[in-house]
Chain A
Amino acid sequence: MSVVFAITFALLSVAGLLVIVRLLRGRTTLDRIVAVDVFVTLIVASACVGMGYLQDASNIALLLAFALLAFIGSVSAARLVERKEPYR
């Protein structure tokens, strides 16, 4: 079963690296906002896998707080971009 956890971690890590490449290359601020949002999703998924591996779910509230924080951050950053850049 630990092989399964290792494979899952490896896949999520590769996905995280690809997202970081997009985060660095960016082009626009909105691309980076999307990349950060996806990155947080990947972190939540890997934290879940880690909790399954350790058989210990005492940090489960952390996941909810993290998802909430990512949502608020993405929404407010998107609003900020919308306000700053001109209307077409």
Chain B
Amino acid sequence: MNWIDVVSAVLMIGGALSCLLGAIGLLSFPDVAARLQAATKPQTLGLILVLIGAAFQLGFPEALALALVGLFQMLTAPIVAQLVGRAAYRADSIRRDTLVIDELGERLDRERSSAR
């Protein structure tokens, strides 16, 4: 094993551990909002680490394509989280007693009372 192998081994195993952490969170958290947290951040970090690790194994032009995959994941994960979170809030499948701040609920209450 030369130093490239060592670096890519550390990155790939670290990334896989981060993915596993996200999956454990996805299984054990109580509601949709908390699961979204586990589904986006550790997963994206883990995927990017695995991509960098694989890029060290593959070489330069392939590394560019892998960077594109990582960039795409970083762009789309927040969009999916935003849309799913909003849908969950509207469908009332978020436990409102576990929220620390509920800005959207306050705003909706205000809008409803001013419309009345």
Residues on A facing B (Cβ under 8 Å): 1, 4-5, 7-8, 11-12, 14-16, 18-19, 21-22, 27-28, 30-31, 33-35, 37-38, 41-42, 44-45, 48-49, 51-52, 55, 57, 60-61, 63-64, 67-68, 71, 74-75, 78-79, 81-82, 85, 87-88
Contact = CB atoms under 8 A, between A and B. Distances in A.
Contacts of A49: 12, 16, 50, 53-54
B26 A55 contact: no
B67 to A, nearest CB: 11
Interface residues of B, number: 50
- The secondary-structure label for the interface of chain A is helix
Interface of B: 1, 5, 8-9, 12-13, 15-17, 19-20, 22-24, 26-27, 32, 35-36, 39, 43-44, 46-47, 50-51, 53-54, 57-58, 62, 65-66, 68-69, 72-73, 76, 79-80, 83-84, 86-88, 90-93, 108
Contacts of A28: 32, 88, 91, 93
Contact of A21 (B27, B54, B65, B73): B27
B88 to A, nearest CB: 5
Name B's interface SS.
helix
Given A4-B13, A15-B22, A48 B51 contact: yes
Given A28-B91, A71-B76, 10 more contacts: A15-B19, A15-B23, A34-B39, A52-B12, A60-B65, A63-B65, A64-B69, A71-B79, A75-B83, A82-B86
Given A11-B17, A22-B26, A34 B50 contact: no
Nearest to B76: A71
B80 A51 contact: no
Contacts of A4: 5, 8-9, 12-13
